[in-house]
Structure formats: C-alpha cells, structure tokens
C-alpha cells in the first residue's frame, strides 16, 4: 500500500534516499516544500509533495517542466491516485498553494502555467 499522507510520503522519500533510489536533492525539495504547506489540506499537501518530487526528478533528467496530464501515470503518483484530489482540480489546487505562482503573480519556488509545473527560476529562463 503506498503512502496516503504527506508525512508518510516524506518518510518514504527518506528511506528511498538512504537506499540510493531517490536523489538527495529530490528529498531536500520535498522537505522544503512541506514547510510551506503546514496549514494545507492533507490530500492537497500530498499532491504538492508528489508533484515536487516528480518535477525534481524530471529536472535531473533534463526537463524543465512536468505536464500535470502526464503526471498521473508517473510511478510515484499512479499508485496514490485514490487518495489524491480529482485530477481535474490539480491546477486549481496547486495554484492556490503559497509555494506556487502563475505568470505575472508573486515570486514563489514553482510556477504553474497551462497545465505544466516548472521551477520558477527555470520558467524565467525559458520565457
């Protein structure tokens, strides 16, 4: 059974890092992001942490963004779909988080645009 809470997902990430199956930078970003989300709905918090882990992994593989439509099939996300908010609400949920912004919005670590999530700094470089 996959982790069904943000806290258990962070613990799982820690174990994966110790086992060499997750990069330390991925774990670090998950931990930092968790600090932004202390008053967030548990399912929305788990969604955010999953997206950050997927985005970090994608960046290490040379990508500048993740497509939220494709993220549902990612090995970290797919087994947890049953405990996450409905996929159609992901853009709305993510854009409401304090660590996510939209074009022309506040400065934040992550940027959401047209169904894709970027690291804000990489979005600026691409733009």
- The dihedrals phi and psi of 17, each to the nearest 5 degrees, come to -70, -45
- Percentage of the chain modeled with pLDDT above 90: 78
Query: How does residue 1 score in pLDDT terms, banded at 50, 70 and 90?
Result: low
pLDDT of res. 124: 56
Average pLDDT over residues 29-49: 94
Question: Which residues lie below 8 Å from residue 83, measured CB to CB, with a gap of 6+?
Answer: 4, 43, 46
Written as one string, the DSSP assignment of 77-117 is TGGGGGGSPPGGGHHHHHHTSTTEE-TTS---SEEEETTEE
Query: How does residue 29 score in pLDDT terms, banded at 50, 70 and 90?
Result: very high
Is residue 32 scored above 90 in pLDDT?
A: yes
């Amino acid at each position: 059974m996959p982790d069904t809470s943000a806290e258990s997902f962070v613990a799982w990430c820690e174990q994966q890092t110790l086992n060499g199956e997750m990069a330390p930078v991925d774990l670090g970003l998950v931990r930092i992001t968790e600090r932004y989300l202390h008053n967030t709905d548990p399912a929305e918090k788990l969604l955010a942490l999953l997206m950050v882990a997927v985005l970090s992994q994608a960046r290490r593989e040379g990508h500048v963004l993740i497509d939220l439509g494709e993220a549902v099939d990612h090995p970290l996300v797919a087994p947890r779909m049953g405990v996450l908010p409905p996929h159609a609400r992901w853009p709305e949920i993510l854009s409401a988080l304090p660590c996510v912004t939209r074009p022309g919005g506040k400065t934040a670590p992550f940027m959401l645009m047209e169904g894709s999530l970027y690291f804000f700094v990489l979005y600026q470089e691409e733009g």
